[in-house]
Amino acid sequence: MRAWGYVMVLAAGMLGLAGCPEDPGPSGAGAGSSTGSSASSGAGGASASSGTGGESSSSGTGGSSAYGYCAKSCQAVADCCGGAAGCPGPYPYNVACSNGACIPGSCSSDSDCSNGTACYRFENNLKFCVLPCTPPGSCTMPTTCSGTDLDGKNYCKGPGCQANTDCKGGGTCVNGSCVCTSNDDCTAITGGVCVF
């Protein structure tokens, strides 16, 4: 269980979950209160956008801006596992080390998800299990059916951060999302790096 917790903390740091538990991925697209196997207490995200655009580490079409997301630094994929049994391995343990930063596991289909969640595609082609909805939706408060993935599918999304303290060392709060502009913003993760 401790190893699984480390993987979730790693994903949280990578995705900014530590501070904004409602966004699943670097795109700032958020998730519902239950995300199955991608995150146990919500979803997490790491950019300054909501939905698929806005001020984010990159737009849905690959643009970039001054904002990044916090991730754990690595030299090899084993650095991203934290000793978790079965890691690297199948989702959610299909982590990677790319350009010195840990990349979280990505679901490949709905069969990787549980508790009514589905595998949706976000920025950098990462896929996360999120709770689907149809506007106005039946999301559990404080989430609303306001998230949209890169394929235009709706999901339950939380309200986002309100202040830097909400990010808990996983970036700074910009437009409701925890983002970073330098490694100094990533204090929640030992060896944290700001990835653009």
* pLDDT tens by residue, 15-66: 333 333 344 544 333 333 333 322 222 333 333 333 333 333 333 334 456 7
Residues β-bridged to residue 128: 120
Q: Give the pLDDT of residue 65.
A: 60
Q: Give the pLDDT of residue 11.
A: 38
Q: Give the pLDDT of residue 190.
A: 86
Q: Give the pLDDT of residue 10.
A: 36
Q: Give the pLDDT of residue 132.
A: 97
Residues β-bridged to residue 43: 22
Query: What is the extent of the structural domain holding 32?
Result: 2-195
Q: Give the pLDDT of residue 161.
A: 94
Give the N- to C-terminal CA distance of the chain in Å, as an integer: 31
Q: How far is CA 104 from the centre of its chain?
A: 8
Q: Give the pLDDT of residue 140.
A: 93
- Main-chain phi, psi angles of 29, to 5 degrees: -70, 140
Dihedral sign (CA 10, 13, 17, 18): positive
Q: Please indicate, yes or no, whether the overall pTM of this predicted structure exceeds 0.75.
A: no
| Total residues found in the chain within this entry | 196
What is the number of domains present in the chain? 1
Residues β-bridged to residue 22: 43
- Residue 29's nearest CA partner among 12, 53, 9, 63 is 53
Name residues of the chain where pLDDT drops below 70.
1-65
Q: Give the SS3 label for residue 110.
A: helix
- Main-chain phi, psi angles of 132, to 5 degrees: -65, 155
Q: Give the pLDDT of residue 135.
A: 86
Cα→Cα distances 52→58, 99, 177, Å:
9, 24, 13
Q: Give the SS3 label for residue 73.
A: strand
